A = this chain, B = another copy of it.
Amino acid sequence: MPRRRPGRPRRDDQRPTRELVLAAATALFAERGFDAVSVRDVAAAAGVDVATVAHHTGTKAQLYDACFARVFSAEREAVEAAGDRARAALAAGPADAVRALHDLVDVFVDFLEDRPETTALWLRRWLEPRRHTELDRRYAAPLYAQVEQLLVAASAAGALVEPAPHVTVRSLVWAVHGHVVALAAGAGSEARERREFRVFVHRLLDGLYPPAIP
């Protein structure tokens, strides 16, 4: 390992240092949590010095927040893009709306399956008593509202009263998180688990909110 001397190397030859640090920190925080990761760990994983981490991302808490903002923004963008497609289908009629709802949920499941660190960070964040209110407002609430709106629109003649849509959406999201955690634990065939979970989700939607057009 060539010891790098102080000064100013590493520029333009690869990704900016800040991105290196954020990627390394995200992986570590997702795996071990805030308190079990030291800034020195992050620095070592990124191949830089602790002071360089501080220079680019400030304090440890700010680094943590930056990781969250990065991951959750990606999630929200993916869901909102699918939401736009769903809203377009909504105008076409209830049958298309039902299909759009299922597509939206599929996008969400696909996203979290491909990026398990998102689930890990979500769960860790929910466990922080101070943070999760702000988290709910900035990321969860808009996402939930989108699925909820689609749920109501897709229900038969909009006559949806119970179960309350927000409860259904929340439970669905948590079921996905549980699915991702189970996948990470690696019990059984992964492909089969993925398939069966999708069956569950779609049956759940159809069972709770029967399509208007059978």
Contact = CB atoms under 8 A, between A and B. Distances in A.
A207 B177 CA distance: 22
Looking at chain A's contact residues, the main secondary structure is: helix
A139 interface: no
Contact of A178 (B34, B171, B182, B184): B171
A132 B123 CA distance: 15
Interface stretch (A50-58, A97-105, A197-205): A197-205
A19 interface: no
A36 interface: yes
Contact of A33 (B33, B133, B178): B33
Contact of A35 (B36, B136, B167): B36
Interface of A: 31, 33-36, 120, 123-124, 126-127, 129, 132-133, 136, 162-164, 167-168, 170-175, 177-179, 181-182, 184-185, 187, 193, 196-197, 199-200, 203-204, 207-208
